[in-house]
Structure formats: C-alpha cells, structure tokens
A and B are shown apart, each in its own frame.
Chain A
C-alpha cells in the first residue's frame, strides 16, 4: 500500500484521517493543528536528539536507530504527519531536528536552520492525464481543448492532488512554468494522498491528477499519460533537515554529529546501489522493483553533492543553489501567500562543509 511511498502517511495517521473524515490532512493544509494529534514524544535521555518527520522513504536513514552510534548521542524518530505541528515542536524545543520539504519550511517558518539536504524529486512527482478514459487526452496540448469542452457544458475538468504536500508545490510550479495550465480552469480537489488521486483518475472522477511514485508508474501502466513531472521544474521539491536554533546555539556538536552520521551513511549506501535499494525496501516494506522505480525519480545527496548544493556559489546569481531554490520556491508560494516571511529562512552549510575538509 502506501506506507513508505512518497510522503506516504503512516498507518496510524491514515486511520486518524479516516476517523476524522480525512480531516487530518485538511487540517494541516489550513495551518490549523486542530485535527492533528500532538507529537507522541516518549521520555528520553538528555543526550537523545528528537527528530520529527513523516513516513517518506527519503527519511529512512533518520529512522535507523543506529544512526548516531558512536557519537555520544542517540536518535529518536517521532512520526508527525502534520507540518505545522512539526514546525511548532521545533520552535518550542520539543524536537531538535525536523525533516521536511523546503516549501513547507518556508510556509511554516519554524525557528530553525536548514543544515542539510536529503533529496530532491526529479520525476517521481508527476502530472498524469486520464488518457485511459479520454483517449484524446494524451498530451499537455490537449488540456485546453478538454477545458473548452467542459466549459461548453458548464463544467470544469477535475484535477486531484494531495494538499499540504509536494503535490501542491508541484502543481503551483507547473502552473507557473507551462502555458497550458491555468488553475482557475480546473475544479481542484485536494485529497489525502497520491493513491486517492490515482483512484480518482482511474475512476474518471478526475481527469488530471498529481501523483507520486509508485503511483506514477502505476498510472502510466494503466494507459494514462504522464504529461509533466518534477523533472520539468528542477530544484523545486527538495527535502531538507532543519536543526532548531536552540540546539545549534546550545550544542552545535550534536548538529554536527547528525550531519556527519547521515552523510556517512548516505555515502556508503550511494556507493552500493544494491544495499541502497535493500535499505529503502526494508524501511518501507516494499519490494525491490518498487524501490527501483521510487529511486529513479529522486536524487539522493551524499556529502559532495550536498556541499555543492549548500555552499557553492552558482553563476550568474552567485548564490548557493539552496538559496536560489528558496528564492524561487518562495516566489511561487508568495503568489498564494503574499505575507510569507522569506527573510526568516536560514541556511547554514558549515556543518556539511566541515565534512569535506
């Protein structure tokens, strides 16, 4: 099922969503924590670092209990589906580190600093067209004609996407980079997860859907068209880890320990593709083929690439790519959220650059 698919929710969170009529996710997207349960943080030792995130496979190394072995710290991974609660926990000091996407970091603006990059989507998230039910809809060029046909009968095509997730960010990015998509041309339906959007596409309840792997492959296999994907908008869906300001100030060695441990684990896995696939398969309970599909749509970062992304100034804007991504993502988000505080975004690449020295 969807346990470890892209931004897949945990079984518990799914149950919570079902019990609340799917309201958990909607609650998050509205910035309200009313529908989100507080983080269940168990009692822990002084030297335990609380890391909050969701069930996304990319966060698997943080779920590894042995992540911080030999550093004098231990890691405690707490699953928290709601981004606003995760951000609030970081600000309040209940969490030491959160793993999230750059767009959510900008939207929720927790008191914390981006200290590392985990991965970015390069095709895993995609816009699928319902070609199976609408054979004429096999290219993005056919979308305006579909919109016109629906308008003639007083309707709009339905576009399903997962709210408060990278799907929403991808939707905004695609709208801002292609001529054929205009948000107001569609009836936008926010769903709880990619699988639901795919189900709507399969049942012709939606004519377009933003989905993520492995649903992207499933949609393609079912005869639908993958018209656009995150590969068309590079550097826009980026997973990062954010350390709380308190932790950086109080115990920078702890932050350095997390950065060291994470990238040494990733360097090891990236050097052995089979071990990498096996690791993610074990974490998510997925078969190797599914993991292969998943990994083909994302770029994972080891020390070298992370250092480049966080610290190298890129011509001609002469800023590290992460800052350029923050500006670019922030500009897109600012259309919908004009008051988004982009100047509060903080990046500290020193922890990663220390690894390369």
Chain B
C-alpha cells in the first residue's frame, strides 16, 4: 500500500516475465507511485476548503507534499530507467565530439603538412632553382657564344624564362596570403625585368664583340640575381618552411591533448555503460542486458579503432615530415646550390677580372653542400661515404644518421659530387696551365655536372614518392573515422536505449 508522498517497494513472489525469454527471475514489484500530478490535484480538491492551520499552513503542506511526490518519482525505477536513457546521451555526445575534433584536427594538419605547406616549399625551391639555372644559362651562353633569337636571347634562355614565368604564376597561386609570401614574390616580379634587360645588353654586346660591355652588363645582372632574386626566393621557401614546422609541431602538441580527450570521453562512456549494466543487474537480477552489451562492445571497438587509426595517421605524418620531406627539401636546396656552383665555374672562365671572386663563390657553394671544420671538401666524400661530423646538405641526406629513406640514391649523389669536384679541379688546372680553351671545353661538356644534377633529381623523386605515400597513408588512416564514429554513436545510442527501454517495458508489464 502506498500513502501519498511515500513509496513502498515490495517484491511480488511471482514476479513478472521481463523479456519473455527464459525463466523470469524475481523482479521488484512495480512501485505504486501516484500518477503524475495526482498528488497535488488530490490535495487541492480536498473539500474546497482551506486546510487546518490557515491559508499559509496549507500552502506549506502542499509544497511539502509536492516535494515528497517528486522524490518518490525520482526514486522510482521507471524514472531511473528513463533518466539513464537520457543521461547516456551525455558521455556518448562527449565521445563523438572528441572523436570528431580529433579527426578534424588531424585532417587539417594532414592537408597543411601533406599538401599546402610542402607544395609551397616545393614551388619556392623550384623558383629558386629556375632562377639559378637562368643565370647559369646566361654565363654558359656567353661563354659558348650561343646564337641569339629575334628577341635578343638564346633559345635556352627563352625556354628557361618561360619555365620561370610559369613557376612565378604557380607560386602566386599556391602561396598563402600575407606579407611574408606576397612581398618576396612582388620583389622578384619587380627585379626580374631589370635582370632580363641587363642580360639582353650582355648578349648584344657579346654578339658585337664588345667583351668589356658584355662583362659589365652580366656582372650587374649576376648581382641582381645573387643579391635580390635568389634571396627573395629563399625567403619564400623559409616562410613556407616556417608554416610547415609550426603547423607540424602544433599538431604534435594538439594530437596529444586531443588523444587524451578522446581517451577520457571513451572511458567515461564505457564506465557509464558498465555502471548501467551493474545497476540493472542489481535491480532486475539479470546478469546481462543484450542491448547494453552490444552497445558496450561497439563503444570498445570504435574507441580502440579511432585511437589506433589516429595514432597511425600521426606516425605516417611523422614519417612524411621528418624523413621523406626533410630529404626532398634538402635535396632541392642542394640542387639549386649545385647550379649556383656551376654558374660560379662559368663566371670564373668568362670574366678573368672577377675570377677570384667567382672561385670564392664556388668554394662557398660547395661548402653549403658539404663541409667539416679543418677538412678539405675533396677529402670528405670518399666512395660515396660522408664521415661523421660533416655538415651541409649532402651530409643531411647521405651522412651518418641522415633522414633519407633510400641510402643507395643518396650514395649515388655523393659519388656524383665527387666526380663534379674532380671535373672542377681539372678545369682549374687547365686554366692554370694556360689552356683556357680546353678549360672552356671541359666546362661546356660538364658531364659531371649533368650526372650530379641527374643523381639529385633521382634521389629527390624517390623521396618525394615516399613522402606522397606517407602523406596519403596519413590521410587514409583517419579518413573513414568520421563516418565510423557517427555510425558507432548511432549504434551505441540505439542499442543502449533499446536495452533500457526493454527493461522499462518489462517493468510496465
């Protein structure tokens, strides 16, 4: 029996079949709670007269009774079941949101690191390489007295100029907005016509046999290239590298915090499901609720898969950034530096008045490729091997502990570099022994330079392939997670609600 405001929980001896399957264990009897609103209504209907104690005393009693009714409902089993159904949404929502956040952050990082910033760096390096090649084509053309086309430039120059123009357009298209990216491009765009004009003057003077004017005009053009155009292209590369590095490092820090968030929300969801299972077991004396069990299994699996896949995506991204792209980037810089060294060789032969400076420049470019304090670069690379403690781009891709993924291609680069240095030494020996024409022949033949350029290009292609694979793998690893997460959340919600609803229905029955 129940009096208003009190809940008596008695257990019927017979019990009620809960699910219709198997022997029904003894269930708690339905709580004889008043229907919703009935308690308060009853009180109001009592004789239409104020209760004893006057109007205010009646009000107090009514409030107290109403509270008792509320408490009774709150402690009733159907209420608890409904509350459980509602509360389940909270950890589930937290988990789904955390996973979505993790996937979204991962996706954004993969896009920035795997596509945007690396593409920006690649374009900037291409720009720098083509600028260096343009300058090298000029000195080569002047040395070999290349025939000029109608516009006053040799054919090779026109080709390289067109490539450079395309790269400029591409750089403008792919670069991020902001002064850090726009200013260097604007400066290149402004200074380049000056360079072209000076080069045309040099070729024209060369064709007229006015060597002095040709030397002077080319000297100025080279200054524009070395002091303005190349540093601006280098800055563009640095700006993109900055974005790549900060995005990547930021991602590493964020992925740790997002991972923690996912684990916490996952454990909360699992804890909630387990607790519900335990409470149902105590209340209904059932060991397992099928819906809840399935929901728990889905939660377990989806959380595990999510964490594993996000972890895999991060690992692939680390491979892409720290190993493959690092090598791609260093090799690209090395390639441009080799072209600059080649240009210095050409200038050494072309302009005796600046030969000393050109030789210094060659030494500077070579030291950027490979150097070690107190050691001659010629002694550093032997049989494709670089000793520990060496620095420079080649040490970065072929030295001990180098980041590259293909040691064989890196070794080929070092071998080609050794041949390049040998060829240079031969060329300079010919100059010193008063055989300038033979020296120019050695230079224009330039087989070692061609081989070195090809070796770097091949190694770069291999590392780029590795990078692309790793970046794709990083993207693929996390790609299905958003959909899976949604499906899992829907499944967990459905099954858990079904499990609880089943108990509610049994209870009503």
Contact = CB atoms under 8 A, between A and B. Distances in A.
Interface of A: 138-139, 141, 144, 148, 175-177, 179-180, 182-184, 315-318, 327-328, 330-332, 334-335, 338, 340, 342
B242 A331 contact: no
A83 to B, nearest CB: 20
Contacts of B401: 148
Interface in B415-462: none
Contacts of B242: 175-176, 183, 335
B179 A316 contact: no
Contact of B180 (A175, A177, A332): A332
13 contacts: A141-B391, A148-B401, A176-B238, A177-B238, A179-B333, A179-B393, A184-B249, A315-B194, A316-B224, A317-B228, A327-B187, A330-B183, A331-B239
Contacts of A179: 333, 393
Interface residues of B, number: 28
A334 B246 contact: no
A338 B178 contact: yes
Contact of B235 (A148, A176, A180, A184): A176
A227 to B, nearest CB: 12
A138 B374 CA distance: 13
B140 interface: no
Contact of A317 (B178, B191, B248): B191
B180 A316 contact: no
Contacts of B333: 179
A315 B235 CA distance: 19
B245 interface: yes
Contacts of B228: 316-317
B325 interface: no
A317 B183 CA distance: 12
B243 to A, nearest CB: 8
A34 B245 CA distance: 32
A335 B178 CA distance: 8
B235 to A, nearest CB: 6
Contacts of A183: 242, 245-246
A79 B4 CA distance: 80
B235 A331 contact: yes
Interface of B: 178-180, 183-184, 187, 190-191, 194-195, 224, 228, 235, 238-239, 242-243, 245-246, 248-249, 333, 371, 373, 391-393, 401
B373 A184 contact: no
A182 B179 contact: no
Nearest to A184: B249
User: Nearest 6 pairs between A and B by C-beta?
Assistant: A141-B391, A334-B179, A316-B194, A316-B191, A334-B180, A184-B249
A180 B178 CA distance: 25
Contacts of A318: 190
Most B Cβ at <10 Å: residue of A148, A177, A183, A332: A332
Most B Cβ at <10 Å: residue of A148, A179, A334: A179
Contact of A330 (B179, B245, B248): B179
Contacts of A176: 235, 238-239, 242
A317 B333 CA distance: 25
A323 B314 CA distance: 43
B224 to A, nearest CB: 5
Contacts of B191: 316-317
Given A331-B180, A331-B184, 15 more contacts: A139-B373, A175-B242, A176-B235, A177-B238, A179-B333, A315-B224, A317-B187, A317-B191, A317-B228, A328-B183, A331-B239, A334-B183, A335-B242, A338-B178, A342-B179
A330 B183 CA distance: 9
A273 B86 CA distance: 84
Most A Cβ at <10 Å: residue of B248, B373, B391: B391
A347 B194 CA distance: 26
Most A Cβ at <10 Å: residue of B180, B184, B191, B235: B180
Contacts of A331: 179-180, 183-184, 235, 239
Most B Cβ at <10 Å: residue of A138, A141, A330: A141
Contacts of B187: 317, 327
A234 B179 CA distance: 20
A340 B391 CA distance: 36
Contacts of B190: 316-318
B179 A340 contact: yes
Contacts of B245: 182-184
A327 B183 contact: yes
Contacts of B371: 141
Nearest to A319: B190
B362 to A, nearest CB: 19
A84 to B, nearest CB: 21
Contacts of A328: 183
Nearest to A183: B245
Nearest to B236: A331
Contacts of A317: 187, 190-191, 228
Contacts of B195: 316
Nearest to A180: B391
Contacts of A340: 179
A315 B194 CA distance: 9
Nearest to A314: B228
A335 B239 contact: yes
Nearest to A144: B391
Nearest to B239: A335
A139 B401 CA distance: 19
A184 B246 contact: yes
